[in-house]
Structure 1
Amino acid sequence: MAKRFVKSSINWKELEKRVPPEQRGKFFAFKGRAELYFRRMMSNPPQSPKIDWEGYKKIVPVPGLVEKFQKEYEALKIPYPEDKYSSEVSKEWLALQPEIKKYTDEMQAHMDKANAEVKRIEALPKFEDMTLEVFYDVYPEQAMDFVKKPSFWPHTPDEQLGYVDPTQKIEK
């Protein structure tokens, strides 16, 4: 006989933390169905109820029929499937642990870098309060440098000094 479950092996609190907000409704519906099934299973007794064979022998008029059913019922053994895969899954899980650790370390480094960038951006003055000099100090590659690279009206590439038309062939 299989051993009886006494509590669910699912950590619902931890699982709920990992569910995206747009899927929470489906998650709670699934959780409700799983708990309903578990309660229905727990409401049944762990052992099958005993059959009153003597009572049936008194009621059934055909001689030997109840004895035949009793013998067949007691000889009936329903095989409980053997767990062949849990050990393989455990081995695969242990083999994956170094890869998982490496991936989480890489992602943590990426998150740390992103958080550092967020802190740097939050430390900057607001764009509304920035002057051209402050913008040039913070973003030198994007700021206009009127001394080193002057720009003339209408500030399109073909109106600037040293412009070369990319559609014309260069003759040597």
Structure 2
Amino acid sequence: MASRRIAQSSVNWASLAERVPSAQKTNLTAFKSTSDKYLRSVLANPETPPKIDWAFYQKNVPIAGMVDKFQKAYEALQIPYPSDTLTSQIEAQEKQVRDEIAIFVKESESRIAEHQTQMAQIKSLLPFNQMTMEDYRDAFPDQALDTVNRPTYWPHTPEDQKVDVPDKPHH
């Protein structure tokens, strides 16, 4: 597999900086600086190594066959470019996260619609400072005082409605 020459960073630093919390900005700056340093060191070297002038060495090296042996070994040398084994895993994980985000967005939109319905209902009511007890009973029948069906004792809080009945003495 032939390697391709890196010409510039493929990282969108501006987009990444928007997503990084302000407490982590210094770490992002240090990371970008290190990344740029590596990129500069790669670009400082030529894309292909310089050609070796084997004829020059043939003439100037007195030991017979040594240059031929080195040339054969050099030309046989193949440094493999590392194979990409993680991109498929990352893409699968990205797809899974995108699916989870889509589900969350859909659920959030339904919750937003439900809350907007509730807000519209509350906004349609009389302001509380203008309501009478009858208006409150009509708007919130399950919360209003109902002395006939659900009699309560003052101060009408749930904690105060528990009535302790003493045990009957057994004869």
Q: Tell me whether 1:99 sits opposite 2:100 in the alignment.
A: yes
Cα distance 1:96–1:25, how it changes in 2: closer, same or farther (>3 A)?
closer
Shift of residue 35, structure 1, vs aligned partner? 0.7
Counterpart AA for 1:44: N
Long gaps (5+) in structure 1: 117-131, 138-148, 152-159
Distance 2:48 2:56 in 1: 20
In the other structure, the counterpart of 1:87 is 88
* Deviation >4 Å, runs of 4+: 105-114, 162-165, 168-172
In the other structure, the counterpart of 1:42 is 43
In the other structure, the counterpart of 2:11 is 10
Query: Percent identity over the alignment?
Result: 36
Deviations 1:68-103 (A, max 9, x none): 001100011111122233234324433442212122
Counterpart AA for 1:35: D
In the other structure, the counterpart of 1:66 is 67
Q: Give the TM-score, by structure 2 length.
A: 0.61
Deviations 1:91-149 (A, max 9, x none): 443344221212244457778999x8xxxxxxxxxxxxxxx99xxx9xxxxxxxxxxx9
Distance 2:23 2:109 in 1: 25
Counterpart AA for 1:83: D
Distance 1:171 1:69 in 2: 112
When the two chains are superposed, the root-mean-square deviation of aligned CA atoms in Å is: 4.4
Cα distance 1:105–1:169, how it changes in 2: closer, same or farther (>3 A)?
farther
Higher RCO (CA < 8 A, seq sep 6+): 2
The count of residues paired between Structure 1 and Structure 2 equals 153
